[in-house]
């Protein structure tokens, strides 16, 4: 009887594959002698105790050791049994569609196997270089066409510019040569580098782009990409990130927003708690502006910019990294944004600022301290890398080598063996001269003793801190001449490859196979600064601008090192209950514009792109509040942002009505809104406050910020309308943890719990159970009043660490202090479902 039932029989390859998968999934077991384990009188040979209820773990493990090994082997072999091609065995972050036919896209350790597989299947092996040589040329290639067009544009510009005519050689004139000759000579002149190459001390074209008391020009990139950097500058790692990340244009830079692969859970595990972290997250943070201040009135300028806390002795003399706020020089009550600074010495200080406020601070310092202060704009001369994770220092120790004996480098070598950065002292800083990381053929751990550091070693990081060495390195890092000197004799990749090839061909007894030996006379070295930021809980590497790319390439070759973008920085700040600038800074001008302009425009455009049948109608959402205003239908406030102007007028108006001794009536049924003789709206009921908000949002545009972190100066002489609209609302940053299921979203509304509903929500917190013992979630809860709105959510989602929804936002300070409990109600925009949450204040 034919058992195939009409099916096509398997060929040799198909049968081999099926047997391979079957063998991989087969778990072998050792034959057990029952008499030896159960009948023997020896108690040590039995798995169970005499009572029969307690398992003897050592005996059981030793007897089942073979089965455990076979289980692990089966799990490992079954994982890769279905990968018939080598490119299918690659990890997800290394997979490329071109890897199936181009061996150049496969790691070197797997290329020989890939070539054998291609030859077995008669697949053509593609080599881009050979294809370009054998390809027939029909006209100009893409690069040649681009250069030809650029030359034509230059020629047209030469015809209009007298200064450029004088710069050209004498023989290049219209009657002497033809167009092609001009193009040929111009291409040669561009290739030779003109006369500006004489200022370079290296073949890489690296130079120090620093300006004193004025903003530095954008760095000169490749001619091919000049047009793309006309308004938005590229970071040194732009081309690398553009292939692996989603990019965005903001604040004059082209920045990495988020990796193309899903990484929300990986970011939480690696960049979060030390217990779960087993890798490193890195980001090119060179877009943060750096300036160096020096002068006789330095302490006065720093105190006006960063507050009195930044000029204390512990920051000026002990190399302690300061993190705080930058204030307006003319009005200290106005917060501009976050600020970081490091005192180099009594006369010099290094300041790092977000690019959104950098130009404002730079120009303000130049205007107020023009003659007494020297300001170096180091935006394009100092770069930085931000690292998070338990293996951050260990990853840096694999690629950084000191050029000479240095006590700070020895401390760095000791600290790199510590996985938990919380045991390190608050002042953890390393500075030393580093050799070119490209000298290493591959990242390698530091040699020497790998013993675990003791408590005395950790204490010595602060007790035996090398002040003189660190001061000298940081001074060189802040000096434009020393930074330019670090580029001297900077080697190209071809030169380094030639040196490495000569080492491989030399006597193997000499060693140096992994690292090209450093020569202080011919090889360059550059200063680096590694800082542990106590508030941000991450590591910051600061180095010269053109040394960032070699470090970045080597850093990303280390296993378990992943790149991240701005979105991952925001996620980590959210999970650690920290405010992320500028989204969580609505009390600053930049944060208010980010919310009311950029984020609102993006959300509104996304809503408008949907067809009318798929859009959520915000005006027809029922059962939002226990009461309803006549002039407010549906969702309250702006639908696509946190409406801070509404919160300011709303809370100030309610406070004004209470101070006047008036009842919080929603509206007058007998009359409409009243106006006085000057045309000013009378504020008598809550509906008048809402009408006032509509007047302000439609007609007036004010530069006054609606929020403040400090108590505002109250002026009772103002008219009621001006008192409500021009007095900023004092708010408190809070973190709201959901006490039941649900997930908060950005721009969600925060309500206080009415006093008559506190007992009900306390019972909900304890749990209302059904007859079967399960918690009842589908309950009809009492709705809050429209006057109970006290804040908005700036960042909200599901918190992987807490296992529940968590929302960061701001609430009215008066409502927070007068609440009988820490309960609040959170409602997402466009819904009528309220979630109970417990709020706690975020420390700034």
Q: For residue range 470-498, list pLDDT tens digits in order.
A: 999 999 999 999 999 999 999 999 999 99
Residue with token string 């466009």: 830
Region of 205 please: left (phi>0), alpha (psi -120 to 50) or beta. Answer: left
Retrieve residue 829's tokens: 């925009």
- Whether residue 650 sits in one domain with residue 778: yes
Q: Residue 38 has what pLDDT?
A: 44
Does the residue 785 lie in any domain?
yes
The count of domains in the chain is 4
**Among candidate residues 241, 548, 530, 516, the one with its CA nearest the CA of residue 381:** 548
**Segments forming the whole domain that contains residue 103:** 89-130
- Whether residue 789 sits in one domain with residue 705: yes
- pTM here is 0.83
382-388 vs 374-377, strand pairing mode = unpaired
Q: What is the spatial distance between Cα 281 and Cα 391, in angstroms, rounded to a whole number? A: 9
Q: Chain centroid to CA 285: how far?
A: 8
490 φ, ψ (degrees, to nearest 5): -65, 120
Does the residue 483 lie in any domain?
no
Q: What is the spatial distance between Cα 557 and Cα 444, in angstroms, rounded to a whole number? A: 10
Does the residue 383 lie in any domain?
no
Q: Per residue in 360-376, is it b (16+ CB within 10 Å) or e — as a string?
A: bbbebbeebbeeebbbb
DSSP tally for the chain: helices H, then strands E = 29, 22
Is residue 302 within 8 Å of 319, Cβ to Cβ? no
Is residue 806 within 8 Å of 737, Cβ to Cβ? yes
Q: Residue 36 has what pLDDT?
A: 43
User: 3-class DSSP state for residue 486?
Assistant: helix
Write down the H helix ranges in 700-806: 720-725, 758-766
749-752 vs 429-435, strand pairing mode = unpaired
Does the residue 587 lie in any domain?
no
Q: What is the spatial distance between Cα 205 and Cα 199, in angstroms, rounded to a whole number? A: 9
Q: Chain centroid to CA 426: how far?
A: 23
CA distances from 751 to 98, 657, 814, 833, 837 (A): 54, 19, 13, 12, 10
Retrieve residue 477's tokens: 């890092």
207 φ, ψ (degrees, to nearest 5): -150, 160
**Domain of residue 716, CATH code:** 2.40.30.110
210 φ, ψ (degrees, to nearest 5): -125, 140
Write down the H helix ranges in 243-354: 264-271, 298-306, 313-317
Domain boundary among 82, 100, 117: 82
Q: What is the spatial distance between Cα 60 and Cα 48, in angstroms, rounded to a whole number? A: 9
The single-letter DSSP state of residue 822 is: S
Q: What is the spatial distance between Cα 525 and Cα 527, in angstroms, rounded to a whole number? A: 7
Instruction: Tell me the residue length of the chain.
Output: 844
- Name 625's Cβ contacts closer than 8 Å, sequence gap at least 6: 636, 783, 784, 785, 786
- Whether residue 164 sits in one domain with residue 50: no
Q: Low-confidence residues of the chain, pLDDT below 70?
A: 1-6, 30-53, 79-84, 96-100, 122-145, 148-149, 156, 158-199, 223, 447-450, 507-513, 670, 672, 676-679, 700-701, 715-717
Is residue 522 within 8 Å of 490, Cβ to Cβ? no
Is residue 272 within 8 Å of 263, Cβ to Cβ? no
835-841 vs 823-827, strand pairing mode = antiparallel
- Whether residue 153 sits in one domain with residue 31: no
Does the residue 303 lie in any domain?
no
Write down the H helix ranges in 546-595: 548-555, 566-575, 589-593
Residue with token string 């990139």: 221
Q: What is the spatial distance between Cα 540 and Cα 533, in angstroms, rounded to a whole number? A: 7
Strand order in the sheet with 233-234: 233-234, 253-259, 245-250
The single-letter DSSP state of residue 597 is: I
Retrieve residue 461's tokens: 């990081």
- Whether residue 809 sits in one domain with residue 747: yes
Does the residue 275 lie in any domain?
no
**Among candidate residues 215, 399, 400, the one with its CA nearest the CA of residue 290:** 215
Retrieve residue 533's tokens: 């930021």
Does the residue 681 lie in any domain?
yes
- Whether residue 109 sits in one domain with residue 74: no
- Name 15's Cβ contacts closer than 8 Å, sequence gap at least 6: none
- Whether residue 163 sits in one domain with residue 55: no
- Whether residue 752 sits in one domain with residue 620: yes
Does the residue 546 lie in any domain?
no
- Whether residue 828 sits in one domain with residue 717: yes
The single-letter DSSP state of residue 35 is: I
Beta bridge partners of 681: 675
- Whether residue 752 sits in one domain with residue 616: yes
- Whether residue 168 sits in one domain with residue 22: no
774 φ, ψ (degrees, to nearest 5): -90, 155
- Whether residue 672 sits in one domain with residue 814: yes
CA distances from 24 to 30, 81, 117 (A): 17, 7, 21
Q: Residue 722 has what pLDDT?
A: 78
**Among candidate residues 259, 219, 521, 568, the one with its CA nearest the CA of residue 379:** 219
Q: Residue 564 has what pLDDT?
A: 96
The number of CA neighbours under 13 Å toward the Cβ of 121 is 13
């Amino acid at each position: 009887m034919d058992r195939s039932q009409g099916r096509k029989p398997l060929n040799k390859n198909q049968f081999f594959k099926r047997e391979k998968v079957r063998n991989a999934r087969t778990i072998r077991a050792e034959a057990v002698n029952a008499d030896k384990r159960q009948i023997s009188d020896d108690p040590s040979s039995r798995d169970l105790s005499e009572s029969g209820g307690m398992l003897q773990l050592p005996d059981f493990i030793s007897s089942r050791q073979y089965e455990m090994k076979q289980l692990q082997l089966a799990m490992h072999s079954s994982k890769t049994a279905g990968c018939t091609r080598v490119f299918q065995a690659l990890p997800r972050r290394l997979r490329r569609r071109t890897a199936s036919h181009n061996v150049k896209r496969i790691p070197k350790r797997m290329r020989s196997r890939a070539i054998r597989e291609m030859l077995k299947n008669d697949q053509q092996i593609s080599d881009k270089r050979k294809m370009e040589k054998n390809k027939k040329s029909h006209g100009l290639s893409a690069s040649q066409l681009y250069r030809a067009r650029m030359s034509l544009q230059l020629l047209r510009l030469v015809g209009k510019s007298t200064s450029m005519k004088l710069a050209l050689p004498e023989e290049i004139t219209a009657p002497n040569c033809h167009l092609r000759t001009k193009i040929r000579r111009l291409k040669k002149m561009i290739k030779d580098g003109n006369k500006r190459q004489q200022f370079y001390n290296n073949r890489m074209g690296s130079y120090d782009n620093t300006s004193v008391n004025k903003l530095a020009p954008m760095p000169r990139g490749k001619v091919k990409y000049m047009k793309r950097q006309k308004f938005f500058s590229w970071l040194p790692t732009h081309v690398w990130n553009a292939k692996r990340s989603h990019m965005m244009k903001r604040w004059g830079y082209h920045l990495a927003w988020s990796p193309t692969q899903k990484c929300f859970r990986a970011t939480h595990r690696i960049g979060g708690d030390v217990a779960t972290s087993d890798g490193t997250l890195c980001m090119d943070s060179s877009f943060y502006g750096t300036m160096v201040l020096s002068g006789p009135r330095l302490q006065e300028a720093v105190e006006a910019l960063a507050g009195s806390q930044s000029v204390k002795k512990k920051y000026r003399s002990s190399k302690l990294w300061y993190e705080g706020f930058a204030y307006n020089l003319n009005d200290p009550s106005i917060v501009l944004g976050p600020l970081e600074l490091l005192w180099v010495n009594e006369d010099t200080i290094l300041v790092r600022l977000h690019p959104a406020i950098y130009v404002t601070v730079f120009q303000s310092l130049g205007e107020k301290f023009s003659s007494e202060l020297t300001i170096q704009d180091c935006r394009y001369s100092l770069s930085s890398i931000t690292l998070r994770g338990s293996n951050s220092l260990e990853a840096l120790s694999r690629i950084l080598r000191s050029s000479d004996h240095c006590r700070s480098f020895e401390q760095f070598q000791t600290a790199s063996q510590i996985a938990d950065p919380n045991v390190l002292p608050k002042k953890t800083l390393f500075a030393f001269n580093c050799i070119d990381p490209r000298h290493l053929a591959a990242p390698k751990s530091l040699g020497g003793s790998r013993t675990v550091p003791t408590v005395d070693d950790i204490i010595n990081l602060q007790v035996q801190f090398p002040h003189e060495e660190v001061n000298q390195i940081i001074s060189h890092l802040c000096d434009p001449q020393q930074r330019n000197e670090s580029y001297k004799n900077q080697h190209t990749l071809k030169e380094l490859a030639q040196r490495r090839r000569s080492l491989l061909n030399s006597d193997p007894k000499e060693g140096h196979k992994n690292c090209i030996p450093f020569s202080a006379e011919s090889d360059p070295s550059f200063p680096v600064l590694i800082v542990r930021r106590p508030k941000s809980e991450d590591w910051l590497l600061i180095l010269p601008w053109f040394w960032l790319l070699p470090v970045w390439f080597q850093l990303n070759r280390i296993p378990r090192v992943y790149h991240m973008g701005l979105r991952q920085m925001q996620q980590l700040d959210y999970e650690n209950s920290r405010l992320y600038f500028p989204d969580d800074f609505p009390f600053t001008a930049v944060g208010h514009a980010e919310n009311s302009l950029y984020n609102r425009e993006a959300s509104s455009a996304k809503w408008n792109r949907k067809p009318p049948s798929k859009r959520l109608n915000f005006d027809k959402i029922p059962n939002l509040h226990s009461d309803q205003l006549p002039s407010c239908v549906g969702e309250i406030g702006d639908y696509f942002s946190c409406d801070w102007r509404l919160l300011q007028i709303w809370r100030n108006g309610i406070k004004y009505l209470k101070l006047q001794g008036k009842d919080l009536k929603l509206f007058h049924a007998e009359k409409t809104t009243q106006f006085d003789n000057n045309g000013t709206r009378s504020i008598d009921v809550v509906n008048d406050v809402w009408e006032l908000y509509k007047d302000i949002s439609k007609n007036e545009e004010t530069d006054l910020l609606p929020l403040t972190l400090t108590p505002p100066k109250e002026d009772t002489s103002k008219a009621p309308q001006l008192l409500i609209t021009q007095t900023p609302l004092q708010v408190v940053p809070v973190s709201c943890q959901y006490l039941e299921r649900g997930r908060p979203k950005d721009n969600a509304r925060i309500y206080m719990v009415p006093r008559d509903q506190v007992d009900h929500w306390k019972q909900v917190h304890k749990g209302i159970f059904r007859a079967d013992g399960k918690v009842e979630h589908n309950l009809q809860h009492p709705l809050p009043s429209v006057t109970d709105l006290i804040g908005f959510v700036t960042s909200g989602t599901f918190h992987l660490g807490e296992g529940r929804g968590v929302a960061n936002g701001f609430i009215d300070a008066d409502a927070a202090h007068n609440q009988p409990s820490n309960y609040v109600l959170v409602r997402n925009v466009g819904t009528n479902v309220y979630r109970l949450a417990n709020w706690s204040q975020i420390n700034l």
